[in-house]
Amino acid sequence: MAAWRDYLAENESAWYEEVLELLRIPSISTDPERASDVAATAEWVAARMKKAGIPEVEIVAGPGHPLVTGQWIVPNKPRVLIYGHYDVQPVEPLELWISPPFEPTVRDGKIYARGSGDMKANLLNVLHAVEAFAKTDGEPPVSLIFLFEGEEEIGSPNLPAYVEANKEKLACDVVVSADGGVAGPDV
């Protein structure tokens, strides 16, 4: 087994706790009263990116909720842009929830919380994989550009302007969206 796979397996329980921690932050981008929670989530994500070993991490303030960007450029390697978001949908109506939306609950081996499938857990999976390469191989096998936003759930109103203004910085060979749920245990 590759060293990075061993690293992933060895750190699974600690990372599981990180997922639960991130899911507890109510980063509802549609609710102005939650703007500080959305900003706190951006800070959390940026700190986790640095912990993963990503050398260039930045929180980009703008007219709406912040973007979190990062780069790990490996010379002479293809550039992969990984897109994702850290904001979540509103939780109403609360009475339809079996458990509180921001208190992760495990049922039948699955985590239930707002953002568990779309997309906080997915975002962390990406960062855990990057950390595994950093700690075992020293660098990822490709150059990585990260673009995580806090406005996807409201239609990404400020993302096009950022992309237009940062074409060179975001130039890549392929874009990967980490968004969306996992269809099943074998996926």
For 38-102, strand residue ranges (E) read: 56-60, 67-72, 79-85
DSSP state of 140: -
Helix (H) or strand (E) holding 147: strand 143-149
Among 87, 149, 151, 153, the one annotated catalytic:
87
Locus of tokens 């996926």: 187
Q: Residue 96 has which token pair?
A: 């339809």
Among 149, 151, 152, 153, the one annotated catalytic:
152
Beta carbons within 8 Å of 118's beta carbon, 6+ residues apart = 88, 89, 179, 180, 181
Q: In the chain, what's the furthest Cα-to-Cα distance?
A: 53
Q: Is 152 an active-site residue?
A: yes
Q: Indicate which residues carry an active-site annotation.
A: 87, 152
